[in-house]
Amino acid sequence: MSKRKNPCESRNPNAQFCDFLMELAEYEKNVSRNIHKYNAYKKAAGVLAAQSRKIQSGEEAKKLDGIGDKISKKIDEYIQTGKLRKIENIHHDEKAQAISMLTRISGVGPVKAAELVKDGIVTVEDLKRSKHLLNHHQLLGLKYFEDFEKKIPRTEIKAIENKLKALVFDLDSNFTITICGSFRRGKPESGDIDVLATHPSLKLGETKQKHGETMLKRLVDYLKGLVIDVISMGDTKFMGVCRLSEDLPARRLDIRLIPCDQYHCAILYFTGSDVFNKTMRTHALEKGFTLNEYYLRPIGSTGVPGEPVPITCEEDIFDYIEYPYKKPEERNL
Ligand code: 8DG
Ligand code: CA
Ligand code: CA
């Protein structure tokens, strides 16, 4: 997951509310480590972002699903005073600011950030003097800190896609490659590049682990010239860094190797958005199916999931659960 995302980036009439709700969400995730509050603020921001007109009061907001008493009071406070005491307090809390700052480094989570702050490390500069405290991923996060903060323009991802496909197809023309995430949803810029790959020989139930391992390593080895650093290399998931040309920033690149029979469920899942995925999973359950990044399964009367349903394209998944098909660009919830 890339860091610091805001579902309200395209300015909507409630963008000011969304901004403070997302700031509170990030605070709960990174500083308080309260995932329930994080989800509640994020959900509320998403709900407000989807409104076509500006909310005029907390009372009005409270009528919306996902906005309760506490958030509606914050909306009133913001409308009346133009600010929020809670946010002001967070801004004046040096420890909270330091933790938020450090969690922007790829590989540094809330727990690590809190440990570092305890050790007196509060800035990226401090951290550059204490590299012995960091693991491989965190060291690369620090090395590319400025670059990873920069959004990737769509045109650059297209160029990376072309280069990646040319290299991979040169290795083996039977690979299928799809860039998912916000890029597939048509966003003008993205936080990172989420690549899914499959190959006809990658069937489920066969020696997937071993086969997958050698196949992914071979694939990534073939990307020399595009991939400039490796964060981690698993059996089916590569996390790394790529750079299109010397004059451009380094970019975060993930590649996942998926068995053919799971490819479309994986494409759907990694296209997102994460809020859209949640909506779709909930709908699937209402229709008696359980959906995840691997497969769609009917739930029998006993509540136990049955055999995965055969899927030949993304549309199949929508059809099975009787959900009107949404093009990737329509999944920006
Ligand atoms: P961005 O990179 O431009 O910020 O946006 P994104 O492409 O939508 O987000 P992402 O963090 O790269 O995740 C890609 C998709 O993966 C996301 O749209 C939906 C799916 N996804 C979830 N939950 C999670 C999760 O916890 N981790 C990861 N890596 N992906 C997730 O629904
Ligand atoms: Ca990603
Ligand atoms: Ca992404």
Domain with CATH 1.10.150.110 in the chain: 15-148
The 10s digit of each residue's pLDDT in 152-190 is 999 999 999 999 999 999 999 999 999 999 999 999 999
pLDDT of 207: 44
- 165 catalytic per annotation: no
pLDDT of res. 205:
55
Task: Give the residue, 141 or 3, on which the prediction is more confident.
Answer: 141
| 294 alpha-carbon distance from chain centroid | 17
Please state, in angstroms and rounded to a whole number, the distance separating the CA atoms of residues 161 and 254: 13
User: In the chain, which residues fall in CATH 3.30.460.10?
Assistant: 152-258
Class of domain 15-148: mainly alpha
The secondary structure of 229-286 as a DSSP string is EEEEE-SSEEEEEE-SSTTS--EEEEEEE--GGGHHHHHHHHH--HHHHHHHHHHHHH
Q: What CATH homologous superfamily does 152-258 map to? A: Beta Polymerase, domain 2 (3.30.460.10)
Cα(236)–Cα(50) distance, rounded to whole angstroms?
Answer: 36
Average pLDDT on 290-300 reads 94
Query: What are 90-141's pLDDT values in tens digits?
Result: 999 999 999 999 999 999 999 999 999 999 999 999 999 999 999 999 999 9
Catalytic hit among 42, 43, 74, 187: 74
Ligand 1: which residue has its CA nearest to atom 10? 1
| Centroid of ligand 3 to alpha carbon of 226 (angstroms) | 18
Question: Which residues in the chain are classed under CATH 3.30.210.10?
Answer: 272-330
Structure confidence at residue 8 (pLDDT): 55
Ligand nearest the Cα atom of residue 151? 1
Phi then psi dihedrals of residue 99, to 5 deg:
-60, -45
Determine the distance separating the centroid of ligand 3 and the alpha carbon of 191, expressed in angstroms. Answer: 5
Nearest CA to ligand 1 atom 2: 191
Cα of 256 vs centre of ligand 3, distance in Å, is 13
Q: What is the mean pLDDT of residues 222-234?
A: 95
Whether the pLDDT of residue 2 is over 90: the answer is no
Whole-angstrom Cα Rg for the chain: 22
In the CATH hierarchy, which fold is given to the domain comprising 272-330?
Beta Polymerase; domain 3 (3.30.210)
What distance in Å separates the CA atoms of residue 283 and residue 297, rounded to the nearest whole number? 13
Distance 290 CA to ligand 1 centre (A): 20
The answer to whether the bond into 190 is cis (omega within 30° of 0) is no
- How many Cβ atoms are within 10 Å of 124's Cβ, its own excluded? 14
**Which pLDDT score, from 0 to 100, does residue 67 have?**
96
Distances (CA, A) of 218 to 96, 121, 132, 257, 264: 43, 39, 31, 12, 23
The Cα 114–Cα 96 span in angstroms is 9
State the Cα–Cα distance between residues 297 and 317, nearest whole angstrom.
Answer: 10
Location of structure tokens 């093009």: 327
Which ligand 1 atom sits closest to the C-alpha of 151? Answer: 3
Contact 6, 22 (CB under 8 A): yes
pLDDT band at 31 (very low <50, low <70, confident <90, very high): very high
Distance (Å, whole) CA 158 – CA 180 = 12
Average pLDDT score, the chain:
93
Phi first, then psi: give them for residue 307, nearest 5 degrees.
Answer: -65, 145
Which pLDDT does position 3 carry in this prediction? 55
pLDDT value of residue 115: 97
Q: Which atom of ligand 1 is nearest to the CA of 182?
A: 7
Provide the residue count of the chain: 333
Residue 269 Cα: closest atom of ligand 1: 20
List ligand 1's pocket residues with C-beta within 6 A: 1-2, 5, 181-182, 190-192, 194, 269-270, 272-274, 277
Best mutation site among 179, 251, 258, 274 for ligand 1 pocket (most ligand atoms within 8 Å of CB): 274
pLDDT in tens, 243-287: 999 999 999 999 999 999 999 999 999 999 988 999 999 999 999
Confidence (pTM):
0.89
Rounded percentage of the chain residues whose pLDDT exceeds 90: 88
